[in-house]
Structure 1
Amino acid sequence: MYAVSNQSGRRFLITGANSGLGKETARRLAAAGASVTMACRSTDKAQAAREEILRETPDADVTIEALDLSDLASVHALADEIRSDGKGLDVLVNNAGVMTPPERMLTKDGHELQWGSNFLGPFVLTNLLLPTLLEGRAPRVTTMSSIAAHAASINFADLEWEKKYSSWRAYGQSKLADLLMGLHLARVSQERGWRLLSTIAHPGYTKTNLQSAGAALGSGRTTMMTRIMDLDVLPSMDAVQGAGPELMAATDPAARNGTFYGPKSRTGMTGEAAEVPVYRSAKGPTLAASVWALAAATTGVDLPRV
C-alpha cells in the first residue's frame, strides 16, 4: 500500500470524495495531515464520509463543498467559492466520474453524460482554479484517467455520441480525454515556466460503486461490460489498494510533469502503485492540444493569462 508522506500545511480539493477511491484518498490525505476539501454532488453522503474520516483521525481538517460536474454552473460556483475563501489551494484531484450508463443521457448543459461529467466538468474546474493554484509554492493537478483509455480513441466526428451510442466507447473516450488534458497541462506548465505539476493516474481494475452507480442510471439495463465485471473473473483490487496510483500522483515528491501512475503489473489491472508508460492512444503529436482546444471552444473556458 502506498505510504503518503506528511502533507501538513497543504490543502487538497478532491472531487467525488464521498465514496470509493475519492473517499479513500481523502481519508489517507487527512491522516497525513492535509487540509481536505471534499467536493461532492451529494453533501449528505459527503457528510457521512467526513464523519467516518473524523472517527479515525479526530483532529483532521476536512470540509465539504457542493459540486455537480454535470452542471457547469455548479462548477463555476465552486471555483468562485475556492477562489474567494482565502485558504488557497495546493492540489486539485480530479477524481469524480460516472461509468457506462446503459442509455445515452445528457448533462444539464446538454452534453453526453460521460463526456460532460468526466471531462468537460473537470476541464472547466481545472482552468478556473489555475490562478489560485499558481499562487502556491508547489501546486499540483492530478487527474484520474482509466485503463479503459488504453484502447480508446477520440470520436471527433461525433464527440457527443448522437449518432450511435456506445456506453463503453463513450466512457473510454472521456477517460482518454482526461489523460490528454493532464498531458497538455503539463506541457503548458513547462512552456510557461509555472511551478505547477500536472500528473495523471489510473486505478487499474478497482471495484467500487462506480461500476454499479453508472449501470443503475436510466432504464436499469446493464451493459455487457458491467455484466462481465459482475462475474468476478477479472483480477481486481479494493479501494485501499486501488487508491495508490491516485495518491502517488498527488503526493509523490519525485513526480515530474506529465507523469502517469498506475498499478505495476503485466495486465495493469492490479499491483503496487508506480510510474507507468503513457498509453499509445494518447501519443498523437497534436492530439492533446486538439482535444484541449475543442473543450475550450465548447465551454468558453481556457487557460488563465498568467
Structure 2
Amino acid sequence: MGLLREYFSQHYPPASKYTEDDVPDLTGKVVLVTGGNTGIGKETARVILAHGAKVYIGCRSPERANAAIEELKKLAGKEDIHFLQLDLADLASIKHTAEEFMRMESKLDVLFNNAGVMATPLEQLTKQGYDMQFGTNVLGHYYLTTLLLPVLRAAASQSPDGTARVVNTSSFGHLLAKKGGVDYKTLKPDDNSTSESNKARKKLGPDVLYYQSKLGNVLLSNELHKHYGKDGVVSTSLHPGTIYSELGRHWPAFQRHAMGVFMKMQPATLGAITQLYAGTAPDAKDLGGKYLIPWARVGAPSADGCNEEAAAKLWTWLGEQVKAFEENHA
C-alpha cells in the first residue's frame, strides 16, 4: 500500500504553491544546468535566465545547445546564457568542463545536476567502461560536483543566506530499484558475456539499472550534504514529476507510446517547478539532505535511499573510481 500511495501522491499531486512567479530576483547569481538544452533542464534554464541569473548549460552537442540558447534568449528576454561542452559519460570531458568553468567564473551559486539517460541498451557503456546509466547519472555528476566545490564554497561565502545549492534530479523510479541498494557487480562489466557482472546486468535489465542510478542520485545527494553542508553547500534530491520529454528515447516504440499517453499530461514546464523551488526558494536553504516530490513538496525516499551506510559506501566507491582515473591520466 505504501508504494501505491506514493504513486498517486506523486503522479497526481496537488497544485503547486510555488510557481515561476515566485522565483526571486537572481541578478548576480551564476547557475549551471546540466542537460539544459532540452526538457526539464531547458525549462529550468529559461526561468532562471528570465529572473536575471547568468546561466550556463552543459551538454554534448554545440549545435543543439546553441539552438536552445537562441530560443531561450527570445523566450526569457535576456542574453546572459552560455554553452559548456559536457559529456557526463566521459570523465575526461567532465574534468575539462569544470576547469573551463572555473577559468571563467569565481563562484557557482546553483548547480542543477539535471541531465541523465534512461533505459540505455546494456551494451552501451561510458568512455571509461561503466554502466552507461550509473556512469552518467551518478558517477558523472559526482565528479562534476566535487570538481566544482571550490566555486560552490565561494558562492556560499558570498551569498546573503550563506548557501550555494546543488539540486540532484532523481526519479520516482528509485522506489522501484532492486531491494538492498546498489549492486556494485553491475557497474563496470568486463568483456566476458558469461561473467557474474554481465549475468547480473542482464537479470536487472535496462529499466531496473535506471532505477538503480536514480537511487544512486538520492544517496549521492544525501552524502554530499553530509560532507559539505557545513560549508553552506545545500544538496537536495528530487522527483521532478512524470514528464513528457526525450528521456524515454531508448524505450521500445510500444512503451514510448503507452507512457506518452499519460506523460503528455505533465509538461516540462511543470517538471521544472520542484527543481526551481530547491534551487531558488529562500526557505529551501534549510532542505539540505531532503528529498522533494511534485510539486515543491518535501517527501520521503525509499528505505534504501535513507540508508546512511549505503550512502557512505557509494561515496567511497565514487571517490575510488575518480582517484583511479586521475592517477591513470596524471
TM-score band (shorter)? 0.7 to 0.9
Please identify which structure carries the higher helix content.
Answer: 2
Contact 2:243 2:264 in 1 (8 A): no
Tell me the CA shift for residue 246 of structure 1.
1.1
Tell me the CA shift for residue 154 of structure 1.
1.1
Q: Which residue in the other structure is 2:102 paired with?
A: 83
Tell me the CA shift for residue 150 of structure 1.
1.2
> What is the distance in 1 between the residues matched to 2:82 and 2:313?
36
Per mean C-alpha deviation after superposition, the further-off stretch among 155-164 and 138-147 is 155-164
- Whose Rg is larger? 2
> What is the distance in 2 between the residues matched to 1:301 and 1:251?
35
Q: Given the alignment, which residue of 173, 193, 215 partners 2:212?
A: 173
Tell me the CA shift for residue 155 of structure 1.
1.1
Structure 1 segment 1-306 matched on structure 2, within 5 A: 2-3=19-20, 4-136=23-155, 137=158, 138-152=163-177, 153-160=181-188, 162-163=198-199, 164-165=201-202, 166-190=205-229, 193-212=230-249, 214-215=250-251, 222=252, 226=256, 228-230=258-260, 232-233=261-262, 236-255=265-284, 256-263=287-294, 272-300=295-323
* CA 1:48–1:173: 2 relative to 1, 3 Å: same
> What is the distance in 2 between the residues matched to 1:223 and 1:149?
23
Using the size of structure 2 for normalisation, the TM-score is 0.81
> What is the distance in 2 between the residues matched to 1:130 and 1:148?
28
Per mean C-alpha deviation after superposition, the further-off stretch among 22-31 and 198-207 is 198-207
> What is the distance in 2 between the residues matched to 1:182 and 1:40?
21
Unaligned runs of 5+ residues in structure 1 are 216-221, 264-271
> What is the distance in 2 between the residues matched to 1:91 and 1:111?
27
Q: Which residue in the other structure is 2:4 paired with?
A: none
**1:6-56 residue CA offsets vs partner (Å, 9 max, x unmatched):** 111100011011100110000001011111001111111111111111112
Unaligned runs of 5+ residues in structure 2 are 1-15, 189-196, 326-330
Contact 1:100 1:167 in 2 (8 A): yes
Aligned residues: 284
Secondary structure of 2:138's match?
Answer: helix
Contact 2:243 2:263 in 1 (8 A): no
Q: Percent identity?
A: 34
> What is the distance in 1 between the residues matched to 2:41 and 2:108?
18
Q: CA RMSD in A?
A: 2.0
**1:240-274 residue CA offsets vs partner (Å, 9 max, x unmatched):** 111111111111211221122221xxxxxxxx332
Contact 1:17 1:40 in 2 (8 A): yes
